[in-house]
Amino acid sequence: MPMMEFNRFGATPIVIFNLVIWLFFTFAYLYQMLYVLLVVARGTVRLPEARRQHRYAFFVAAHNEEAVIGNLVRSILSQDYPRELLDVFVVCDACTDDTHARAEEAGAIVWDRNDLARRGKSWALDYGFDRILNEYGDKYEAFVVMDADNLVSPSYISVMNQAFDAGYLVCTGYRNSKNFDSSWISSAYALWFLREAKFLNNARMMSGTSCAISGSGWLVSASIVRGMHGWDFHTLTEDIQFSTFCSANNVQIGYAPAEFFDEQPVTFKASWVQRMRWTKGFYEVFFSYGRDLAKGISRGQFASYDMLMTVAPGMILTLLSFFVNATYLIVGSLSHGFIATQAELDMCVGSLVMTFVSMYAVFFLLAIITTVSERAHIHARKRWRIVTNLFTFPLFMMTYIPITVAALFKKVEWVPTKHDIVVDVDDVVGDGA
């Protein structure tokens, strides 16, 4: 059809471009709204009672974590689960403080590792898993990976044991936060992880598709680790890499509402550094596993599609839309009607405005839904922070736009995150909203 015919119906190139972008986002991510509706209708997944109590090794990679490591170990060993079925292993990764002594005093088995060429959690996991398997054989049926700044609820492993006993070889838990109200940054992080647990992983579990592990608080069967002879995932986001590997190879990750508490960054600078690493890691996983996920999709595996949407750089399309509309607006305005009509220019302005308005509206709605649904799990002394977070959470999420661009070009390396929120589980839950 000639261009004149397109123009008669208002179907100019810029209109078609914006329509295609809108349709793509709508249909690509519509399933996540269906997840929300599923959770609203059915609540939290119910796991069958475990037939027996399994033996677990908790694993913690720690770099200069003397302030927080003791409370984590004590929270693990004081759970409502037989003590003889739990051990805690801490690998002090190039530590220069008293992490070793603090962890040992709390009851952990502690090893020192000083490989400065291969620092970071993934390498500590590889070292620790390999050593446990060599020195303890088949003693443990599964490993539970925690970060040094975490705390676990008294029922954590009992609930996780239900999922493992049901046959899931990899399981993720309910990630809460121990410093929701430290700043608007920590509140945003906390809400995102609550949403991830309840409205993504919980919904995936109820739908019969695979979940994704994230950061810490996850379990992996010893049989999987034994098959790898350690840990073979060393991108900047080894958790997402492993989740993607599972999806591509049809290993279903389960979800258990086993609550643990994570320390969130407080400053925007610390958040920027951490999320830059995450975004760069997502790029690594996307370009490494994109083809495998596409094959999984071709075989009808919805988990592969779900994971592809998780790791795909969707913000790039948002930026592309902004750039195209802004360029068309500027060039069209300078052409004085030769290239673009006034109606097209007005449409470009509307598209630019709606791009950000719609993003804000979507994240605002997710903030309200998550806050209302998970209000019993939000622990904050500053109760006003829960309300203000509804409005600042969308702004936090929109700062991923410049991060997405910067991560394309910037060299990113693993750097340790400082943890200094020294509380125990009673301190956290005692501040309930």
pLDDT band, very low/low/confident/very high, at 337 (cuts 50, 70, 90): low
The residues pairing with 112 across neighbouring beta strands, listed in sequence order, are 92
Predicted model pTM: 0.90
How crowded is residue 64: how many other Cβ atoms within 10 Å of its Cβ?
18
Residue 338, pLDDT score:
62
Nearest-5° angle of CA 51, CA 141, CA 107? Answer: 105
Band of residue 357 on the pLDDT scale cut at 50, 70, 90: confident
pLDDT at 143: 98
The mean pLDDT of 27-46, rounded to a whole number, is 93
8 A C-beta contact, residue 371 and residue 386: yes
Q: What is the DSSP string of 167-208?
A: T-SEEEEEEEES-TTS-HHHHHHHHHHHHIIIIIIHHHHHHT
227 CB-contact burial (10 Å; exposed 0-12 / middle 13-18 / buried 19+): exposed
Q: Quote the pLDDT of residue 112.
A: 97
Note the pLDDT of residue 322.
74
- To which H or E segment does residue 257 belong? strand 253-262
Give the mean pLDDT of 326-352: 71
DSSP label at residue 313: -
Secondary structure of 279-297 in HEC code, one letter for each residue: HHHHHHHHHHHHHHHHHHH
Reported confidence tier of residue 7, pLDDT bands at 50, 70, 90? very low
Say what the pLDDT of residue 372 is: 97
Q: Where are the alpha helices (DSSP H) in 43-120?
A: 69-77, 99-106
CA distances to 144, 225, 305, 317, 326 from 22, rounded to whole Å, are 41, 42, 19, 10, 17
Is 2 a residue whose pLDDT tops 50?
Answer: no
Helices (H), 92-173: 99-106, 121-136, 156-165
| pLDDT, averaged across the chain | 90
Strand partners, 149: none
Residue 433 CA to residue 429 CA, distance in Å, equals: 9
pLDDT at res. 164: 98
Percent of the chain exceeding pLDDT 90 equals 70
pLDDT of residue 336: 63
Pick the residue with more confidence: 319 or 372? 372
Residue for token digits 């040992």? 104
Residue 130: pLDDT band by 50, 70, 90 thresholds? Answer: very high
Long-range contacts, stretch 297-306, CB < 8 angstroms, 24+ apart? 301/247, 301/250, 302/209, 303/204, 303/209, 303/210, 303/247, 303/250, 303/252, 304/247, 304/248, 306/31, 306/204, 306/209, 306/210, 306/247
User: Per-residue pLDDT tens for 170-196?
Assistant: 999 999 999 999 999 999 999 999 999
As a whole number, mean pLDDT of residues 63-75 equals 96
Smallest CA-to-CA distance from 104 within 62, 64, 73 is with 73
pLDDT in tens, 197-219: 999 999 999 999 999 999 999 99
Other Cβ atoms within 10 Å of 48 Cβ, number: 9
